[in-house]
Chain A
Amino acid sequence: MTNEKKPFAITLDVGSSLANKTGTWRNERPSYVHRLPPCNNACPAGEDVQGWLYDAEAKNYESAWRHLVKNNPFPAIMGRVCYHPCQTACNRVQVDEAVGINSVERFLGDEAIKQGWKFDEAAPATGFKVLVVGAGPSGLSAAYHLARLGHQVTIRESAPLPGGMMRYGIPAYRLPRDVIDAEISRIVDLGVTIECNVKVTDVPAMFAEGFHAIFLAVGAHLGKRAYIPAGDSARILDAVSMLHATEDGDPPLLGKRVVVYGGGNTAMDAARTAKRLGAREAIVVYRRNREKMPAHEIEINEALEEGIKMHWLSTISHVDADKVTIEKMALDESGFPQPTGETEELEADSVVLALGQEADLSLLNNLTDVSVDDGVVTVDEMMMTGMPGLFAGGDMVPGERTVTMGVGHGKLAAKNIDAWLNEVVWTHPPRPELASFDRLNPWYYADAPKSVRPRLDAARRAETFDEVVQGLDVETALFEARRCMSCGNCFGCDNCFGVCPDNAVIKHADGTYEFNLDFCKGCGLCAAECPAGAIQMNIELN
């Protein structure tokens, strides 16, 4: 206080209102939060989708890719074969259409192959040796994560080439083989040894060989058979063997008219492959209706576009050399198909059974600690079987049988194997609250149409094994990435900074924000106007 004479009744110096700390008025305090975006929540492989899209939006494609592969080493494969539950969960559906996450993922994966990006170096060697049995998505994913943690990993694979169902189940028109090779070789570069044409039959011998832990991921490669009355010369194959043989370059003779029995993704693959192998007609026979078909909508549509015929609500009652007899079914009140007694004959040179797959669990025959239930191996929440140190995942354990699920199992198993080796218990980090649509302020998102992937002409596609769905170019990929609403996570829109009537949000030069609680009155405007729902108001109790 200066000694200068002040006006009557005035004791204070003139000054700025900055002396008045209005933060004392506050009874609710804002804080920046990270909520769980629905895409991340839905991803079976546990990808941080919103996180890598954030980098892609800024054209930082390499950091986006690095962020992505922290959880999943196969973006180029995922971008082709994942059924993208992330897009089904995407909040943007409620504004216009889901973000094309899968296309952007594929773009990043292809860009990584094109640019020759390598994984970050593995952690220093731990001295632990882990055996992975099976080089499918689950085994490769586990090997990748274990190798990054510094463990020495060997994969033994019974087939001549690694990839499992990605190579021997999914046809090349959906997943080109050079893409599989590129993404697997990157794992090999990380120091993982893959031994092919080696079938593991004796698990205890493997532990005796010096492996500290073993992860089984042998998949489910045996086609389920069903008893179907058939004449002597009837030609009946199973879809898994047919797809496997085609990959080996030795496709079976199917004839001109092929009937595929079943309604799953493998049935679609078999029917579409049959067309490409020269069948004039490929007919899918399925006992329930289209709505109940387990095949993914995309695959059904692409099959229909290629001229595959569908006989829904039908079962095969007899197979002869040149025809099959099908019986019409009707759904009862509980949605279960019941026979009607009405039959029809279809001309057919061969029948391909696509009735599901089973795992070959013969390597577990003498292991009394390991229990098998309904054809799959029982594992605990650590992905460990009843035998200490023996873990299992992928199609041979209960769960949805997709590539992405397999990758997720591999990652989960790797975290638990790592913990088990270090004699600790891994616990899943606490999941933040879901960033549901009602948490967002969608006003701030402009409407935009989804860019559609260029597609090969359906007619042309059916003739060859060329890839059906083409990737996005760089402009379109950026466009798609920028449609992300960044649910539950700040993306730097400056709204909080702008709408505060008290200038109580500080924006730093690096684009981050901070609340100035000296002046924040707790009005809540920043939280209400945050497009992404990344600000939370909390009651303050003095």
Chain B
Amino acid sequence: MNAPVKFYQIGSFAVGNRLVDPEDRSVQSGENRFNALTSGHRACQGCGEALGARYVLDTAMEATDGKIMVVNATGCLEVFSTPYPETSWRLPWLHSLFGNAAAVATGVAASLRVQGKSDVRVIAQGGDGGTVDIGFGPLSGMFERNDDVLFVCYDNGGYMNTGVQRSGATPPGARTNTSHASGAEPGASFNQGKDLPRIAMAHGIPFVATATVADLRDLEAKVRTAMSIRGARYLHVLVPCPLGWGSRSDETIKLSRLAVESGIFPVFEAHHGEVTDVKKIRRRVKVEEYLQPQKRYSHLFAGSGLPEQVAMIQAIADKNIATFGLVDEGDDND
């Protein structure tokens, strides 16, 4: 008995395993995990954001011995978790305006610093609307000042709780109630887009990462890394929205996985503006496989379909794969 027996039944892809040592299991697999966002919240069935928020905050709680304060921008996450007089939060939690979560978090961090409570850490969180659109100015300021805050964006690609309006993070071609599936170029336009992880990197802050709810181990590792660093940090988590995406409630994780495997959503980590790690694609798929289960893209496939638009989306995925090196040379395993 020299080399340890490798565990192949399930790799590191599942949440836990009865055969793995407890210290090697994910935070989420612990029967006494913190459940920062507890039951009874009013998120839709299969909500990716509720899942992502619990994943992030439970890990942060564990990494900091429970010393966390959270500032939450207006948005789905705030609406479904705190309809007065109920709250689903089990940690100190502040609701800011839609646009100023980063500024409020900066203030909280400054106050803690003045009080000498350097062990209490601050997390600001919001959806893509509160991050890439409305809260973008304060967020950029927080980055530029390198305030000691982890900002987490749960990106579901639109303003969902107000009735699914387009945001700066709505992907090209996707239908929303303000980007109808009609006209010559149906759905959200194919323009420049607003790639916030790379904008954050351009600020040169200590830590920027992307993650999804489909890869829990990776997400937890990134939160732990973020909590081990001081200064401005940014984590962008893709969270499918069954309501806005028109997907089945049991496909939330599958769609996150397909977003990664198709190259639509590159998963990477960057320190001080440089990419240091990328998550390679394990089983590459065409973008159709990701798009087709979502009704927000149904116009791309109805009737004879819109193959040119699909090809444009594939081109975006291919560019991501090339830019981030998501597939190893000669390892195109589809």
Which residues of A line the B interface, CB within 8 A?
10, 12-22, 25, 57-58, 443-446, 448, 474-475, 478-479, 482-486, 491-495, 497-504, 507-509, 511, 516, 518-519, 521-525, 527-529, 531, 537
Contact B86 A521 (CB under 8 A): no
Can you add 10 more A-B contacts, CB < 8 Å, to A445-B11, A492-B18, A504-B39? A22-B41, A446-B10, A479-B5, A482-B7, A493-B10, A494-B14, A494-B15, A494-B16, A509-B31, A523-B45
Choose among A474, A498, A521, A528 the residue that contacts B16 (Cβ–Cβ < 8 A). Answer: A498
A484 vs B17: C-alpha distance when bound (angstroms): 14
Which residues of B line the A interface, CB within 8 A?
1, 5-19, 25-26, 28-29, 31, 35, 37-43, 45-48, 50-51, 54, 81, 84-88, 216, 242, 248-254, 257
Distance to closest chain A CB from B143 (angstroms): 30
Smallest Cβ-Cβ distance to B84: which chain A residue: A10
Distance to closest chain A CB from B43 (angstroms): 6
Summed over the interface, the residue pairs from A and B with CB atoms below 8 Å come to a total of 173
Contact B38 A511 (CB under 8 A): no
A485 vs B18: C-alpha distance when bound (angstroms): 14
Known contacts A491-B18, A495-B15, A498-B26: A486-B253 contact under CB 8 Å: no
Contact B40 A22 (CB under 8 A): yes
Known contacts A494-B29, A501-B51: A17-B88 contact under CB 8 Å: yes
Contact A445 B253 (CB under 8 A): no
Residues of B within 8 A of A495 (CB): 14-16
Smallest Cβ-Cβ distance to A26: which chain B residue: B45
Smallest Cβ-Cβ distance to B18: which chain A residue: A492
A529 vs B256: C-alpha distance when bound (angstroms): 12
Residues of B within 8 A of A16 (CB): 38, 40, 86-88
Name 25 interchain pairs, CB-CB below 8 A, sorted by A. A13-B85, A15-B85, A17-B39, A20-B41, A20-B86, A22-B39, A446-B13, A491-B18, A493-B18, A498-B216, A501-B46, A501-B48, A501-B51, A501-B252, A503-B35, A508-B31, A519-B39, A521-B45, A523-B46, A523-B252, A524-B250, A525-B249, A528-B253, A528-B254, A531-B10
A523 vs B44: C-alpha distance when bound (angstroms): 9
Known contacts A498-B216, A525-B253: A482-B9 contact under CB 8 Å: yes
Distance to closest chain B CB from A494 (angstroms): 3
Choose among A17, A446, A493, A522 the residue that contacts B40 (Cβ–Cβ < 8 A). Answer: A17
Choose among B9, B12, B31 the residue that contacts A507 (Cβ–Cβ < 8 A). Answer: B31
A478 vs B5: C-alpha distance when bound (angstroms): 8
Residues of A within 8 A of B253 (CB): 499, 525, 528-529
Contact B8 A483 (CB under 8 A): yes
Smallest Cβ-Cβ distance to A53: which chain B residue: B9
A509 vs B48: C-alpha distance when bound (angstroms): 27
Choose among A17, A486, A528 the residue that contacts B38 (Cβ–Cβ < 8 A). Answer: A17
Residues of B within 8 A of A528 (CB): 250-251, 253-254
Smallest Cβ-Cβ distance to B45: which chain A residue: A523
Choose among A20, A25, A479, A491 the residue that contacts B8 (Cβ–Cβ < 8 A). Answer: A479
Contact B39 A516 (CB under 8 A): yes
A265 vs B25: C-alpha distance when bound (angstroms): 49
Contact A10 B216 (CB under 8 A): no
Residues of B within 8 A of A502 (CB): 39, 41, 43, 50
Contact A501 B13 (CB under 8 A): no
Distance to closest chain B CB from A151 (angstroms): 39
Residues of B within 8 A of A484 (CB): 9
Residues of B within 8 A of A499 (CB): 15, 51, 253
Distance to closest chain A CB from B151 (angstroms): 22
Contact B18 A511 (CB under 8 A): yes
Distance to closest chain A CB from B147 (angstroms): 30
Known contacts A482-B19, A525-B46: A491-B28 contact under CB 8 Å: no
Distance to closest chain B CB from A491 (angstroms): 7
Contact A527 B250 (CB under 8 A): yes
Residues of B within 8 A of A482 (CB): 5, 7-9, 19
